[in-house]
Amino acid sequence: MSRQFDQEVEQRLIRYASVDSQSDASSSSSPSTEIQLDLLRLLEKELSDLGAADVQLTDYGVVLATIPGTAPGPVVGLLAHVDTAPQFNATGVKPRVLRGYNGGAITFPDNADLSLSPDEFPYLAEKIGHDIVTASGTTLLGADDKAGVAIIMTAARHLLTNPELQHPTIRLAFTPDEEIGRGVGPRLPKDLGADFAYTFDGGAVGEIEYESFSADGAEIVVRGVSIHPGWAKGKMVNAITLAAKIIAMLPQSTMAPEVTEGREGFIHPTGMTGGSTEMRISLILRDFEMEGLQQKGDMLRQICAAVQASEPRATITCTITPQYRNMRYWLEKDMTPVNLAYEASRKAGLEPVSVPIRGGTDGSRLTEMGVPTPNLFTGMQNIHGPLEWVSVQDMSRATEFCLHLVQAAVDPSD
């Protein structure tokens, strides 16, 4: 296994992960948080310093750049997102590197109760001898997707400093707000200008993903009747009580994230706020097929209708909004970018593995909007929490794979 990119991807990941760039679904701005611009501006400067062409930070918060082609072929896009997930603390990330992992449980200096064990996470057991990057125990690491950013930036530096390497024109894009489903705005497909693209936002080495969840978001508003509790008998309608009934009626034993796997979808409450007068419940609905997604939306509406019928003095509304769709619907019509990734994987000495993503990527939206965009591995594991980790050597292999990929896109007939 080549080690030529180990040091660079490690240094880049540590540099990028140290910059707080958490997104915020409650914000209406673009990007949703100003702090994401700190990393975006850093990438803009680094790309300019490397000699990339057409470097810009758009007014909607995407860094774009071009690596001019040295051979004929389609324009290939490479994407990663800079934001980290809102689900866990991401302020004050302190990345650390454990050299030559010995196969035992990994402890954390800032959280003595936390342990990362290969018994619980078997993929870690495969990484004996690797250099493992984690946070310190009180934050996530942000390898999702700063590992992808580090991989693409390392590959870009290599291509720009080795102009003898044959590759078509490459367009780079670093996006904000992927974690809250707003990474791909309506202008990005045209501004990217790629025939097809790839997101580096996947997990285990060798994964080439071209199937994702289809996703909807739901917002339930429960409005009760407010009366002083001392004189409430027969008059008060407590919105908290009704919201609790709605939650209790969800199929928690069969259709929650914590009891589903593989191709099983789910209904997942992500937030509940308010008081006795009004409650708001946010949920996400996920399924690999549109029929299943529709059924979950219908079920949620029926639950709301049943609780409404039990208390007609209340007002309960359920609004369901499309988020993204399974990229397979479009990619299966033209598997060219997927087949190129398979070819590049084998040239890199890897066995490609395609599994459905139990989530979505910027590629889900880009594919739906006309830019076919499969998702590729970075090595990141246990994302969105304090046990997040990534192997330096996995990132290095992803960088090598990326270089094989863009070289595979050269059109030999021209």
- Binding site, annotated residues for Zn(2+): 81, 144, 179, 201, 384
For tokens 């009891």, the residue is 259
Residue 205 inside a domain? The answer is yes
pLDDT of residue 412: 74
Nearest to 318, CA basis, from 306, 300, 331: 300
My answer on whether 84 and 46 are in the same domain is yes
Domain membership flag for residue 51: yes
Q: What per-residue confidence (pLDDT) applies to 25? A: 87
Does residue 298 sit in the same domain as residue 357?
A: no
- Please give the residue that has the higher pLDDT: either 410 or 1: 410
User: Do residues 258 and 223 both lie within one domain?
Assistant: yes
Number of domains in the chain: 2
Among residues 45, 65, 41, which one has the least CA distance to residue 55? 65
- The pLDDT tens digits for 274-294 are 999 999 999 999 999 999 999
Which one is predicted more confidently, 121 or 181?
121
State whether 150 and 185 are in the same domain: yes
Q: Report yes or no on 414 lying in a domain.
A: no
Predicted local distance difference test score (pLDDT) of residue 411: 83
| Residue 413 falls inside a structural domain | no
Q: The domain that contains 222 carries what CATH number? A: 3.30.70.360
Average pLDDT of the chain to the nearest whole number: 96
The pLDDT value given to residue 382: 97
Structure tokens at 220: 């339930």
Task: Note the pLDDT tens digit of each residue in 41-52.
Answer: 999 999 999 999
Q: Which CATH number belongs to the domain containing residue 382 in this structure?
A: 3.40.630.10
Average pLDDT over residues 90-109: 97
In a domain, 1, yes or no: no
Span 296-321, average pLDDT: 98
Catalytically annotated residues: 83, 178
| Average pLDDT of the segment spanning 335-353 | 95
pLDDT category at 3 given cuts 50, 70, 90 is confident
In this structure, the answer to whether residues 339 and 194 fall within a common structural domain is: yes
Q: What is the pLDDT of residue 254?
A: 97
Q: Say if 243 falls within a structural domain.
A: yes
Whole-number pLDDT of residue 413: 64
Q: Which residues line the annotated binding site?
A: 81, 144, 179, 201, 384
Burial of 269 from C-beta contacts in 10 A (0-12 / 13-18 / 19+): middle
Q: Are 371 and 201 in contact (CB under 8 A)?
A: no
252 and 363 inside one domain:
no
Identify the domain boundary among 270, 301, 324. Answer: 324
In angstroms, the Cα distances linking 351 to 126, 127, 183, 399 are 15, 17, 30, 16
Same structural domain for residues 205 and 164?
A: yes
Range of the domain at 139: 6-212+326-408
pLDDT tens digits along 34-76: 999 999 999 999 999 999 999 999 999 999 999 999 999 999 9
Taking only the tens place, the pLDDT of each residue in 169-186 is 999 999 999 999 899 999
List, for residues 383-398, the tens digit of each pLDDT value. 999 999 999 999 999 9
**pLDDT at position 313:** 96
pLDDT at 323: 92
Domain check: are 102 and 21 in the same one?
yes
Domain-located, residue 288: yes
**Same domain? 101 vs 218:** no
Of 324, 355, 387, which residue sits at a domain end?
324
Q: Are residues 368 and 266 in the same domain?
A: no
Query: Rounded mean pLDDT of 178-195?
Result: 95
Residue 120 lies in a domain: yes
pLDDT at 92 over 70: yes
1 has pLDDT over 60: no
Query: Over the range 141-164, which residues count as b (16 or more CB within 10 Å of their CB) and which as e?
Result: bbbbbbbbbbbbbbbbbbbbeeee
Residue with tokens 């990007």: 31
- What average pLDDT score do residues 128-136 get? 98
Residues 31 and 146 in one domain: yes
In this structure, the answer to whether residues 343 and 403 fall within a common structural domain is yes
With a CB cutoff of 8 Å and minimum separation 6, the contacts of 341 are 198, 208, 352, 374, 376, 405
Q: Which of 324, 351, 373 is the last residue in one of the domains?
A: 324
